[in-house]
């Protein structure tokens, strides 16, 4: 079993990891765990009904995260910090979406 398949990141298939950032996530149990947590939050956030325009912003934020992750390359400190910030942002966005949805019902 290779290092890439051992970690098993949730948001992408480690057997197809091509970038230095993806390989670093797959090689690190800590980063793989953060990736799994982020993917679970993203799944929940993506399912939340949002007002017009907010869905586009949601996708733009996801693309910005992937661009920033790629810019980190294999720097695990950079990746860890980036994942923790993204997780906190997703948690805040989910809280906001739930409150907004409940207030409009």
Determine the straight-line distance between the first and last CA of the chain, rounded to whole angstroms. 51
Residues 90-104: pLDDT tens digits? 999 899 888 877 777
Q: Identify the DSSP state of 104.
A: T
More confident residue, 3 or 20: 20
Residue 67: name the closest of 52, 54, 82, 80 by CA. 82
Mean pLDDT in the chain? Answer: 86
The CA–CA distances, whole Å, from 31 to 35, 41, 52, 86 equal 6, 15, 33, 13
Residue 2 has pLDDT above 70, yes or no: no
Residues 44-72: pLDDT tens digits? 888 887 665 666 788 899 999 999 999 99
Rounded to whole angstroms, the Cα distance separating 31 from 23 reads 10
* Average confidence (pLDDT) over 83-96: 94
Residues 97, 44: contact at Cβ < 8 Å?
no
Q: What is the pTM of this model?
A: 0.83
Residues 22-51: pLDDT tens digits? 999 999 999 999 999 999 999 988 888 766
Band (11; pLDDT cuts 50, 70, 90) = confident
């Amino acid at each position: 079993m290779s290092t890439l398949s051992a970690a098993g990141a949730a948001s992408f298939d480690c057997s197809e990891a091509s970038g230095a950032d993806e390989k670093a996530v797959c090689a690190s149990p800590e980063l793989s765990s953060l990736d799994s947590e982020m993917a679970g939050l993203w799944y929940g956030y993506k399912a939340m009904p949002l007002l017009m325009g907010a869905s586009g912003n949601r996708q733009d934020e996801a693309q910005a995260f992937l661009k920033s992750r790629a810019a980190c390359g294999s720097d695990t400190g950079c990746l860890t910090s980036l994942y923790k910030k993204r997780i906190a942002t997703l948690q805040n966005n989910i809280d906001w979406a739930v409150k907004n949805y409940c207030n409009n019902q």
